[in-house]
Amino acid sequence: MVAGKAYRGRLLLAHAALITFIALVAVPLFMVISISFRKGNFATGGILPTAETFSLDHWRMVLGQPVQQADGTWLAPSVPVLRWLWNSIMISATSAALILALSSTCAYAFARIKFRGRETLLSSLLILQMFPMVLAIIAIYSILETLGNWVPALGLDTHPGLILAYLGGIATHIWIIKGYFDSLPIALEESAAIDGATPWQTFRLIMLPASLPIFAIVFILAFIGLVG
């Protein structure tokens, strides 16, 4: 009986802590959403917008539509929000797909192919993740500036150039996918080799279908990391 009461007490305490944490996260988010449906840029009065304060002007501006002001004039959007949003989604999705393609092939080589310096390269990839990306900004800028002189499409202020810079952050994804490849039984590949499959066919027809869950996770992680 005492143990049951202690368990219920810990359970109630855990629920109270979780509810408090959710409230701390949800209330500011709810306030931001509430302000977006009000006139002006500040929230006054109650939490929910009233009939007098309710307005869709902020959302019209985001969607690129002009908004009529109090003096009757029309205010056009000053920034192309939808264009920026599309650029972010397109660049992030393209980069995530290319990151997945590069990471999966590199991870397969590290997991299944024996070559000199493999462990050193793996350790180097892990050590590189200890340094913040901001340390490489000047180097990346110089590389893209020089590359743009030879290939303008990959230079500064270009989408392909930005995607190329994003492709440098694949070390963590290589380790994640390699760990998954290591968990797959090598007997699958040995059976495919006995049937005459080449290493590329084994990777494409055996390893890729068996690794779809980890590929989905890596793609989502890469996309969120870039679009955020």
pLDDT at position 77 is 76
Residue range 156-169: mean pLDDT, rounded: 88
Enclosing H/E stretch for 205: none
3 has pLDDT over 60: no
On whether both 69 and 97 belong to a single domain, the answer is no
pLDDT at position 45 is 62
Among the candidates 24, 45, 75, a domain finishes at 75
**CB-CB contact of 72 with 141 (8 Å):** no
Highest mean pLDDT (candidates 91-105, 106-120, 123-137): 91-105
Among the candidates 50, 75, 100, a domain finishes at 75
On whether both 68 and 100 belong to a single domain, the answer is no
On whether both 201 and 128 belong to a single domain, the answer is yes
**CB-CB contact of 191 with 207 (8 Å):** no
Residue range 151-156: mean pLDDT, rounded: 86
Place of tokens 């019209």: 60
Q: Pick the closest to residue 186 from 171, 199, 173, 172 (CA basis).
A: 199
Q: What percent of the chain has pLDDT over 90?
A: 23
- Secondary structure (3-state) at 80: coil
Instruction: Count the domains in the chain.
Output: 2
On whether both 142 and 219 belong to a single domain, the answer is yes
Q: Pick the closest to residue 199 from 109, 129, 128, 79 (CA basis).
A: 109
Q: Which two tokens stand for residue 74?
A: 């029309």
On whether both 141 and 223 belong to a single domain, the answer is yes
Residue range 8-19: mean pLDDT, rounded: 89
pLDDT at position 115 is 82
Among the candidates 53, 75, 97, a domain finishes at 75
Can you give the residue range of the structural domain that contains 35?
2-75
Share the mean pLDDT of the chain. Answer: 85
On whether both 91 and 54 belong to a single domain, the answer is no
**How far apart, in Å, are the Cα atoms of 52 and each of 42, 49, 177?**
14, 8, 55
- 26-84: pLDDT as tens digits: 888 888 888 888 876 666 666 777 777 788 888 888 887 887 777 777 877 777 888 88
